[in-house]
Chains A and B, each alone.
Chain A
Amino acid sequence: MRVSVNQKVNLLSVSLILSLGSLLGFYFIRHEADALNAELNERAAVLLNSLTTNSEYPILIRDREEISRLAKGILTQRDVAFCRIEDIDGAVLFEGGTKEGRPIREFSSTVVTNRVVEERDEGMILGAPMKVEEEMGKIYLAISLSGLNQKIKDIKETVAIFTIVTVILVSLASSLLLRLILSGPIRMLLRGTERIAGGDLDYKVPVKSKNEIGMLAVSFNQMTEDLKKTTTSITNLNREIAERKRAEAKLKQTLAELERSNAELQQFAYVASHDLQEPLRMVGSYVQLLQRRYKGKLDADADDFITYAVDGADRMKRLINDLLSYSRVGTHGKDFEPIDCESVVGQALANLHVAVEESGAEIITDPLPTLMVDGSQLSQLFQNLIGNAIKFHGLDPPRVHISAQQKRNEWEFSVRDNGIGIAPEFFDRIFQIFQCLHSKSEYPGTGIGLAVANKIVERHGGHIWVESEAGKGSTFYFTIPIRGGKQV
């Protein structure tokens, strides 16, 4: 059963008032009863005294009539139930009323008379006569207690009724007062919590007093304020998380699109360069045929034009071939398998043997590891780097040093030369496709070699970079991560 604070406080105050009222009533009743008893005793004493005084003479002279009149007179008095008058010898001079059937209290008194005597010694009067008190009878009086008891009973009832009425009134008043000072504000607080629980964090509980309830309301409002702040920050946090998630999803989508478009681009580059080869073959073949059959047979201009056309077709053929090999890195790669890098370099050098012999290059190869790679691509990579090292030589014959060292979970390869070097501002550009630092007449080339090298390294999960100073040679570095499989 749910008992409200109001009810509890009410119950407490009612029981307090009830016990206080009962205590007060009890004392009041006792006090009243004592007073009534004393009054009764006093009245009885007065009655007894007057009867005793008045009946002195009649007793003395044995005037029964007078005694009877006096006694009857007493019996008519309120509450007097019984009266008996005896002489000194115990003879009953009067008896009236009854002691039976009701509660009584008995009083008695002795009737005395003053007799003057002369003290004589052997018939001689010795002095002045003396007054001597002499007992001559006894009076018994019984006073009925019915009236007293009735009165006490009445008082008890009055006190009980008064107490009950008081308790009722006081509890009504206290309940009203409680409602005003306690339960009202508490109910307001309760309503406040309900509203706040419902989400209305802007709600303020009105503060009407400066007592504990008022302080509670202030604290409550403070708590709501704090809660609002916390809720606001949580809301902000949630919003931020949602935004971040959205951004992440977008990033993922963009990445997927990028991957797709990249793949499409590679496919396009491959298909385009492949399909471009056919018409180019026609153009190239027929201008060559023209040159073969008609060189020197037309005029000098015609010979020049044909030469330019043949040259252009030639360059385009190389470009398309390079583009094809560049796009092949991504689209036509082989699976990685354990390959001895020394044999890979050997293969590259075999492909370069003409350039090596012509330039008188000195090639030094340190011991190289066996790694999980695409062998033909790695060979292409070394071929491009060593080829460049030979091609871009300075005045001295080219000297190329190939080495590798293990760094944590990858191998770092280096191809060092003593060639013309590269200025630092070109370090990034040289790895882009079709970027040449030199004119075609100085160093012929399409600018594909390092772009292909870069792509091969990227496909193997490594990275490539160069350290160089113009005129002092270059060192190309690339890393190949160590993959699962047989590693030596």
Chain B
Amino acid sequence: MNTGEKDKLVEILLVEDNPGDVRLTVEAFKEGKLRNNVNSVEDGFEALTFLRREGKYASAPQPDLILLDLNLPKKDGREVLAEIKSDEYLKHIPVVVLTTSKAEEDIIKTYNLHANCYITKPVDLAEFIEVVKSIENFWFKIVKLPWD
């Protein structure tokens, strides 16, 4: 990230069906250091609509980072991941799988679908906030992304 663009608004897409988790994530990002905009969608289908700017999301921004839960209604997080990573226009967007599942097969499967990283949601709030801060720090301060 360029130091000159300190005030750049970071666009985040949160795909999460539980409003409590959505709010928690939003609150955690509020404690972050960057200006961010968390856009949230409730299911996999809506997530793809958002990313392809279809329907009511025609003027939606392209997110800088996607936070993806795995267990979603309508379209499963794994299917969404597969579609994003096979889409020429979307596959460059980093996808962070953020889920409660600790199952090994979920971890293996999502990495095989080219997830950029896999994080199990900590149960403790303080830890969760730390994790969200770490995500922000890592993806927006440490990592060099192609469009920077």
Asked if B128 lies at the interface with its beta carbon under 8 angstroms from chain A, I say yes
- Whether A289 contacts B100 by the Cβ 8 Å rule is no
- Whether A284 contacts B24 by the Cβ 8 Å rule is no
Contact partners of B128 in chain A: CB under 8 A:
285
- Whether B123 contacts A288 by the Cβ 8 Å rule is no
How distant is A320 from chain B, measured CB to nearest CB, in Å?
9
Q: Which of B20, B21, B27, B100 lies in contact with A277, CB distance below 8 A? A: B100
Contact partners of B125 in chain A: CB under 8 A:
284-286, 288-289, 292
Closest residue of chain B to A281 (Cβ to Cβ) is B123
- Whether B20 contacts A286 by the Cβ 8 Å rule is yes
- Whether B126 contacts A281 by the Cβ 8 Å rule is no
Smallest CB-CB A-B distances: 10 pairs: A288-B125, A285-B125, A282-B20, A281-B123, A285-B24, A289-B125, A317-B123, A289-B27, A278-B100, A285-B128
How distant is A241 from chain B, measured CB to nearest CB, in Å?
52
Closest residue of chain A to B24 (Cβ to Cβ) is A285
Closest residue of chain B to A320 (Cβ to Cβ) is B123
Q: Which of A284, A286, A289 lies in contact with B123, CB distance below 8 A? A: A284
Question: Complex formed: what's the CA distance from A55 to B96 in Å?
Answer: 182
Identify which of residues 276-322 in chain A touch chain B, using a CB-to-CB cut-off of 8 Å: 277-278, 280-282, 284-286, 288-289, 292, 317
Question: Complex formed: what's the CA distance from A278 to B19 in Å?
Answer: 13
Instruction: Mark interface residues in B108-148 (1 if CB within 8 Å of A CB, else 0).
Output: 00000000000001011110100000000000000000000
Contact partners of B21 in chain A: CB under 8 A:
282
Identify which of residues 309-347 in chain A touch chain B, using a CB-to-CB cut-off of 8 Å: 317
Question: Complex formed: what's the CA distance from A288 to B27 in Å?
Answer: 12
- Whether A281 contacts B27 by the Cβ 8 Å rule is no
Question: Complex formed: what's the CA distance from A361 to B128 in Å?
Answer: 34
Main secondary structure, interface of B, reads helix
Question: Complex formed: what's the CA distance from A288 to B21 in Å?
Answer: 14
26 contacts between A and B (CB under 8 A): A277-B100, A277-B123, A280-B123, A281-B100, A281-B121, A281-B123, A282-B18, A284-B123, A284-B124, A284-B125, A285-B20, A285-B24, A285-B124, A285-B125, A285-B128, A286-B24, A286-B125, A288-B124, A288-B125, A288-B126, A289-B24, A289-B27, A289-B125, A292-B125, A292-B126, A317-B123
Contact partners of B24 in chain A: CB under 8 A:
285-286, 289
Contact partners of B100 in chain A: CB under 8 A:
277-278, 281
How distant is B70 from chain A, measured CB to nearest CB, in Å?
13
Most-contacted residue by chain B among A278, A281, A286, A289 (CB, 10 A): A281
* B interface bracket (residues with beta carbon within 8 Å of A): 10 to 19
* Interface residues contributed by chain A, number (CB under 8 Å): 12
Closest residue of chain A to B129 (Cβ to Cβ) is A292
Question: Complex formed: what's the CA distance from A281 to B121 in Å?
Answer: 10
How distant is B135 from chain A, measured CB to nearest CB, in Å?
17
Contact partners of B18 in chain A: CB under 8 A:
278, 282
Apart from the given pairs A281-B121, A284-B124, A317-B123, 19 other A-B contacts in the complex at a CB distance below 8 Å = A277-B100, A277-B123, A280-B123, A281-B123, A282-B21, A284-B125, A285-B20, A285-B24, A285-B124, A285-B125, A285-B128, A286-B20, A286-B125, A288-B124, A288-B126, A289-B27, A289-B125, A292-B125, A292-B126
How distant is B19 from chain A, measured CB to nearest CB, in Å?
10
Question: Complex formed: what's the CA distance from A282 to B20 in Å?
Answer: 7
Question: Complex formed: what's the CA distance from A292 to B126 in Å?
Answer: 9
How distant is B90 from chain A, measured CB to nearest CB, in Å?
29
Closest residue of chain A to B100 (Cβ to Cβ) is A278
How distant is B122 from chain A, measured CB to nearest CB, in Å?
9
Question: Complex formed: what's the CA distance from A49 to B27 in Å?
Answer: 181
Contact partners of B121 in chain A: CB under 8 A:
281
Question: Complex formed: what's the CA distance from A317 to B127 in Å?
Answer: 14
Closest residue of chain A to B101 (Cβ to Cβ) is A274
Question: Complex formed: what's the CA distance from A284 to B127 in Å?
Answer: 12
Question: Complex formed: what's the CA distance from A286 to B21 in Å?
Answer: 10
How distant is B47 from chain A, measured CB to nearest CB, in Å?
21
Contact partners of A280 in chain B: CB under 8 A:
123
Most-contacted residue by chain B among A280, A284, A288 (CB, 10 A): A288
Question: Complex formed: what's the CA distance from A292 to B130 in Å?
Answer: 14
Closest residue of chain A to B125 (Cβ to Cβ) is A288
Question: Complex formed: what's the CA distance from A285 to B21 in Å?
Answer: 9
Question: Complex formed: what's the CA distance from A284 to B123 in Å?
Answer: 8
Identify which of residues 10-50 in chain B touch chain A, using a CB-to-CB cut-off of 8 Å: 18, 20-21, 24, 27
Closest residue of chain B to A285 (Cβ to Cβ) is B125
How distant is B119 from chain A, measured CB to nearest CB, in Å?
14
Question: Complex formed: what's the CA distance from A288 to B20 in Å?
Answer: 13
How distant is B115 from chain A, measured CB to nearest CB, in Å?
22
Closest residue of chain B to A314 (Cβ to Cβ) is B124
Question: Complex formed: what's the CA distance from A202 to B38 in Å?
Answer: 98
Closest residue of chain B to A283 (Cβ to Cβ) is B20
How distant is A151 from chain B, measured CB to nearest CB, in Å?
134
Question: Complex formed: what's the CA distance from A278 to B100 in Å?
Answer: 8
